[in-house]
């Protein structure tokens, strides 16, 4: 093989490697864009927690694959109505028993997730699973769960418990709405107003004791 032939072969190999590298970079960029669009604020949280973009994206991609294997379904009208009534009962309960209402709200969110097809598992796995389809409100779920957990150790005030109820309701409303955003926002706003009223009554009771 003469020198000119070797040069041509080398140039061809370099060109192929350059094209392969460009394709790889393009695919990586598309993967990052897709994951950011899919997970929103959850993307930044996971990448920050993992300490590296590649590792964070691997975790998020694994979440997607796991949830794709689940039989996630919409709720029937009857199921949805039953859950709405159950939530209203917890809101009413908040006036006299805020701690029990928060615990009830926590169980109710798990019940809705289970009815939708998310497996019953430990909290972190539940949050990871639900983050795939509800990435914006999953952080509210974490905050609410943290308040409920801390309240079992160190009795928190009524305001903290009210915040937990509001955060639980944000995910609860989305799970009930089967992805229809306008009604979800309306229900969430109404729920927060009702909780605020209940909080005022609960505070009045505490002040009178």
Give the whole-angstrom CA distance, residue 142 versus residue 79.
25
Confidence (pLDDT) at 38: 83
Confidence (pLDDT) at 197: 52
Confidence (pLDDT) at 185: 36
Confidence (pLDDT) at 193: 52
Is the Cβ–Cβ distance between 162 and 195 less than 8 Å?
Answer: yes
For the chain, domain boundaries: 3-68, 77-208
For the chain, give the number of residues.
Answer: 209
pLDDT in tens, the chain (209 residues): 677 777 777 788 888 888 888 877 767 778 788 888 888 889 999 999 999 999 999 999 999 999 999 999 999 999 999 999 999 999 999 988 999 999 999 999 999 999 999 988 899 999 999 999 999 899 999 999 999 999 988 888 899 999 999 999 999 999 998 654 333 334 444 545 555 554 554 444 554 54
Confidence (pLDDT) at 121: 83
Confidence (pLDDT) at 1: 63
Q: What is the DSSP letter of 184?
A: H
**3-state SS assignment for residue 161:** helix
Angle, alpha carbons 148-177-179 (nearest 5°): 105
């Amino acid at each position: 093989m003469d020198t000119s032939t070797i040069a041509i072969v080398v140039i061809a190999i370099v060109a192929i490697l350059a094209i392969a590298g460009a394709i790889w970079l393009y695919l990586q960029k598309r993967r990052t864009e897709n994951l950011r669009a899919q997970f929103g604020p959850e993307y930044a949280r996971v990448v920050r927690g993992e300490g590296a973009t590649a590792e964070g994206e691997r975790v998020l991609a694994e979440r997607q694959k796991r949830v794709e294997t689940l039989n996630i379904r919409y709720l029937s009208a009857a199921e949805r109505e039953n859950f709405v009534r159950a939530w209203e009962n917890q809101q009413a309960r908040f006036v006299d028993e805020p701690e029990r209402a928060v615990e009830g709200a926590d169980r109710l969110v798990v019940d809705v997730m289970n009815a939708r097809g998310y497996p019953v598992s430990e909290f972190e796995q539940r949050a990871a699973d639900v983050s795939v389809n509800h990435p914006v409100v999953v952080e509210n779920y974490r905050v609410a769960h943290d308040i409920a957990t801390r309240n079992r150790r160190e009795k928190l005030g009524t305001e903290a418990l009210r915040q937990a109820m509001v955060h639980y309701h944000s995910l609860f409303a989305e799970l009930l709405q089967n992805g229809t955003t306008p009604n979800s926002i309306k229900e969430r706003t109404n729920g927060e107003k009702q909780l605020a009223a209940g909080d005022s009554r609960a505070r009045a009771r505490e002040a009178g004791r």
